Structure 1
Amino acid sequence: MGAMRLTHVTTAELDRLEFHAVRSGEHGRIAAQLLDLANRVDAGSEVGRAELFVRAGEQWEIAQEFERACSAYQRAIDDGGVTVIDPHALSAGALLQLDERRQAEYHLERLESGGPVGLPTLIHVAEALYAHDDLEGAERWATAGARFHAGCSRSPYVEDLFLELLRIRFRIRSDLGRPEDDLDLILDEV
């Protein structure tokens, strides 16, 4: 039996695969292809194994295969590699789709206890909770994240993410009937 060929995956290749999924609607097929790549990727790859598992999970979610998405996110968690969005947050969102609120809360607790959370992850959590009518939880996550990141220096890309989080937070707070506060006023300045 021959050895499995190792693969180097670039961001450009990953973008092409995901663009094809959008154009063709073949999200399940692309998810399976991403899982295969994750199982064969070499250690020096531009895109690591955990990120490939995450991207596969996202494709499974688009295909509304939430259990498969959860499985892919768990593989990313188990791998422990670097990802753009923390797989605990993604898993929580998929579990909410399956009405598995207790398991989703477990992942959010794990995420919260792990230290500072990046802006893409905070945006995902706030949007997932908002979509599932947990406005209080969404506002708590968005506010904690915005307060943490408000004092940090930011590149233009990170600034855009910060402003996106503030906009989501503003929408949530408006739905809750909360008055404007100091974080909301930042949006008035841009």
Structure 2
Amino acid sequence: MGAMRVTHVTTAELDRLEFDAVRSGEHGRVAAQLQDLANRAEAASEITRAELFVRAGEQWEIAQEYERACASYQRAIDDGGHTVIDPRALCAGALLQMDEIGRAHTHLGRLEKDAPDGLPTYLHIAEVLYAHGDLEGAEWWATCGARNHPEDGSDLFEELLRIRFRIRSDLDLDEDDLDRSI
């Protein structure tokens, strides 16, 4: 007999699972639960199947299971549903953790060509590249995010400008109009 299909997953349920992972430290167990939910999901009114795969991948990353994280992100990419952060950006970050630099840059190249929607993806890429010492790449992504998604009143825009300023300071670049807008 097949596994029971899930027709509705709420943000509250996901928050509970993720809180359980933080409380218990069992991120791998929670990642497996999230992945199981994603595999069984038919339709989710609040959360897409792709977002479930992304959240599973994030938990796998916290558990330092980067190959499993990449597999979850790939499932999100293949699914094509809406996610807060583009799963290609998340996959690139996990690949960098495994020193799979070429594969990571393949994902980033595809993202560059497609111009991702929303500040969360740009911010994530800038932070990941900064953490891995690619200051020029981090600055490029932060600048693109700030220029392509002008101030929308969100804290994310301010956060993107702050990391961009920090990166540009580390690169010893002159202050520009975006730096002065902070």
From 169, 172, 176, the equivalent of 1:174 is: 169
1:121 aligned partner: 121
- Which runs of structure 2 are paired with 1:105-144 in the superposition (5 Å)? 105-144=105-144
* TM-score w.r.t. length of structure 1: 0.92
TM superposition shift of 1:144: 1.2
* 8 Å Cα contact 1:66-1:94 kept in structure 2: yes
TM superposition shift of 1:180: 1.1
Moved more, 111-120 or 93-102: 111-120
Taking only the aligned residue pairs, the percentage that are identical comes to 75
C-alpha deviations, 1:40-66, integer Å up to 9, x for none? 112243111000000000000000000
Q: How many matched pairs?
A: 182
Distance across 2 between alignment mates of 1:22 and 1:105: 31
* 8 Å Cα contact 2:11-2:46 kept in structure 1: yes
Distance across 1 between alignment mates of 2:48 and 2:118: 18
Structure 1: segments with no counterpart, 5+ residues: none
Distance across 1 between alignment mates of 2:179 and 2:44: 42
Query: Structure 1 residues 44 and 93 mapped into 2: Cα distance closer, same or farther (>3 Å)?
Result: closer
Distance across 2 between alignment mates of 1:107 and 1:143: 19
Query: Structure 1 residues 85 and 2 mapped into 2: Cα distance closer, same or farther (>3 Å)?
Result: closer
Structure 2: segments with no counterpart, 5+ residues: none
2:103 aligned partner: 103
2:77 pairs with 1:77: yes
TM superposition shift of 1:7: 3.5
Distance across 1 between alignment mates of 2:175 and 2:85: 29
Query: Structure 1 residues 54 and 163 mapped into 2: Cα distance closer, same or farther (>3 Å)?
Result: same
Name the amino acid aligned to 1:98.
M
* 8 Å Cα contact 1:54-1:72 kept in structure 2: yes
Distance across 1 between alignment mates of 2:13 and 2:71: 23
Distance across 1 between alignment mates of 2:23 and 2:48: 25
* 8 Å Cα contact 1:117-1:145 kept in structure 2: no
C-alpha deviations, 1:133-190, integer Å up to 9, x for none? 000000011011111112x6x2x4xx21101000010010011111211001111xxx
1:48 aligned partner: 48
Distance across 1 between alignment mates of 2:174 and 2:115: 29
Distance across 1 between alignment mates of 2:6 and 2:41: 5
Distance across 2 between alignment mates of 1:121 and 1:39: 24
Name the amino acid aligned to 2:21.
A
2:89 aligned partner: 89
The Cα RMSD (Å) is: 1.3
TM superposition shift of 1:5: 2.9
Distance across 1 between alignment mates of 2:93 and 2:164: 18
* TM-score w.r.t. length of structure 2: 0.96
